[in-house]
Structure 1
Amino acid sequence: MRCDHSVFTRLNWGYPSNNFNFIYLAKTGVSVADREASLELIKLDISRTFPSLYIFQKGGPYHDVLHSILGAYTCYRPDVGYVQGMSFIAAVLILNLEEADAFIAFANLLNKPCQLAFFRVDHSMMLKYFATFEVFFEENLSKLFLHFKSYSLTPDIYLIDWIFTLYSKSLPLDLACRVWDVFCRDGEEFLFRTGLGILRLYEDILLQMDFIHIAQFLTKLPEDITSEKLFSCIAAIQMQNSTKKWTQVFASVMKDIKEGDKNSSPALKS
């Protein structure tokens, strides 16, 4: 269930390990009410984190470590605070790293543009990611794309939970760790490529479903999903639209939206 340890070194750049206790104690900028609300949510979420493993729940060997890391992060980044789903990411890191290193990796990981946009619920940025995702969705799975469109089924319905937890809640843990290995190497593009791989894997089934059943299916994926089948489907996904790669398409979406905002602005029209 462990990830390739070498990939986590990339997440550990930026903060000295011996600052962990200092960061945990530094509560600057966090109101008592906000801190207590976050700690209550953390307590509730920990009990639901990989419950089948029985290691993160109260009395388990990693309960206090997980609580400590999540509590420290809410103090370190009060502008983000604790968001439901973070516990799964921290738990995977705890299984692969020592406590201080796990915190550093957790903080660095959540500071990446994609994760920061989702955990801060930056609707504008999230819509840009969804729009870019749909470009490659239509390019790779046109039939399923049109099927989803016919039901007005948008990416936010299924992608948010996948991105929030980096698939650690949606996929079997050993498979999620394989996704993490490639994500740490290739970056955010692979998260969306994995999403398209899942859709490709279950395309025939999804084409037979209506809105409600699709949403239910993608919210709780089959537990018998295998690494070989999923990664075969991921490999078949082409992350290039015409001559543009993911980063170029994302940049184009950003530019188009900015220009659209300018054109729709009454102040600029006058």
Structure 2
Amino acid sequence: MTEDPQVDRYGFAAPNLVSLGNLSRDNARLEKWEDMLLRWEYNITRRADFLKKRIRKGVPDCLRGRVWSELAEIEKFRTQYAKDYYKNLSETECESIAVRDILLDINRTFPGHVLFKSNGDGQKSLFRVLKAFSLHDPELGYCQGMGFVTALFLMYMNEEDAFWLLEALMKKYNMRDFYMVGMPGIYKAFYKINSLFKNYLPTLWRHFIGLNIYPSLFASSWLMTLYVNAFPMDVALRILDIFFNEGPKIIFRVYLSVFKNTKDELLRLDCDGILDRIRTIPDSLIPDSVIKNTFKISLSRKKLKFLEEEYENSPNSEFMNW
């Protein structure tokens, strides 16, 4: 029998693993978070600003599933249905286009993670959750980006909670249009990104446009998986901590921040150089730096709402390319 390879703290194969972290500090943070969870209703209603600061510093990894579920209010979605609703859906035999696509994608979803080994329990759980959701929302069915997000949920919670967190993602956080046929939400997001890019990074915008590159060109895989399949896991998790508390605005802030912090380098590159550099940007990202730089970007919900309405009513053709 061969031993499993070493894995990092998130469950991914890491043959050259080096132990990092301050155990004393981590334990102190964990105790604070456990106290906050004991008084969750008080903290979420009376100490929202304090809670926001704590979340921006990062949720302890062992509590992420619980904290995300509380922030997303998954119980509100669960209680709208019968007690065994998820169980019945997950056990339903089904042959559909969605199920076929799910089966095709399963082996491509985090193959380097110990939970999602070929034909392993994680893959079976992922299949059941995605199949159940395709039956729950047949108009949506299944879209590839959903697999990575759902797989991440399963790293932190059981199947049923992952199912309801996926429902919250679609309904509370308005991500459903990202995965609908035709992906209308993604195109709307592309429009916002191009507009914001011109506003926040005008010099880089002109450089890109001069090379016939639109900033939104790189957005699809980043946004559809909420950075989970694009950025290092420790960075993506910090983004998701904030996403579940503050909403989708964070995904646009992060996008702008990443390009702002590589602007000087990108301005010196030609088209091929830019494309090559952007592919390697995630390799150099450090969680605390990403979050710190992200919140240097001032972006209001009002601005995003304005761009959304502009896109729906009379889109600026300058931002319609991707």
TM-score range, shorter chain: 0.7 to 0.9
Paired residues, number: 249
Larger deviation, residues 159-168 vs 142-151: 142-151
Q: What secondary structure sits across from 1:169 in the alignment?
A: coil
The CA deviation at 1:23 is 3.0
8 Å contact from structure 1 (residues 132, 249) kept in 2: no
Which amino acid counterpart does residue 248 of structure 1 have in structure 2?
Answer: K
SS at structure 2 position matched to 1:236: coil
**Partners of 2:85 and 2:153 in 1: how far apart?**
18
Which blocks of at least 5 consecutive residues in structure 1 are unaligned? 240-244, 262-270
Tell me how far apart the structure 1 counterparts of residues 245 and 104 of structure 2 sit (CA, whole Å).
Answer: 32
What is the rounded CA distance, in whole Å, between the counterparts of 2:220 and 2:229 in structure 1? Answer: 12
- Name structure 2 gaps, 5 residues minimum: 1-9, 11-60, 316-322
Matched, 1:194 2:254: yes
Superposed displacement of residue 156, structure 1: 3.5
Alpha-carbon distance in structure 1 between the residues aligned to 2:147 and 2:202: 35
Q: Percent identity?
A: 23
Map residues 1-270 of structure 1 onto 2, 5 A cutoff: 1=10, 2=61, 4=64, 5-11=66-72, 12=74, 13-16=76-79, 18-25=84-91, 32=95, 35=96, 37-112=97-172, 114-122=174-182, 125-219=185-279, 221-239=281-299, 245=300, 247-260=301-314
Q: Which AA in structure 2 matches 1:14?
A: F
- The residue identity in structure 2 corresponding to 1:145 is W
Distance in 2 between residues matched to 1:174 and 1:260, nearest whole Å: 39
What amino acid is the match of 1:165?
A: T
For residues 267 and 251 of structure 2, what CA distance do their matches in structure 1 show?
A: 23
Q: Residue by residue, what CA displacement relative to the aligned partner does 1:66-95 show, whole Å, maximum 9, x if unpaired? A: 111111111111111111121110011111
Once the two structures are superposed, what CA deviation does each residue of 1:119-161 show, in whole Å capped at 9, x if it has no partner?
1155655443333333332333222222222223224321111
TM-score, structure 1 normalization: 0.80
Measure, in 1, the Cα distance between the counterparts of 2:215 and 2:280: 15
Which secondary structure state, in structure 1, belongs to the residue aligned with residue 250 of structure 2?
Answer: helix
Give the 4+ runs in structure 1 shifted more than 6 A: none
Deviation at 1:225, TM superposition (A): 1.9
Stretch moving more, 11-20 or 189-198: 11-20
Q: Distance in 2 between matches of 1:222 and 1:128?
A: 24
Q: CA RMSD in A?
A: 2.6
How far apart in 2 are the matches of 1:171 and 1:224? 10
- Residue type matched to 1:188 in 2? P
In the TM superposition, residue 216 of structure 1 has moved relative to its aligned partner by 4.4
Q: Kindly provide the amino acid, as one letter, of the partner of residue 9 in structure 1.
A: E
| Aligned 8 A contact 1:88 1:169 in 2 | yes
Deviations 1:184-214 (A, max 9, x none): 1110111111111221232233223333443
TM-score by length of 2: 0.69
Give the number of the structure with larger relative contact order, counting CA–CA contacts within 8 Å between residues 6 or more apart: 1
| Shift of residue 254, structure 1, vs aligned partner | 4.0
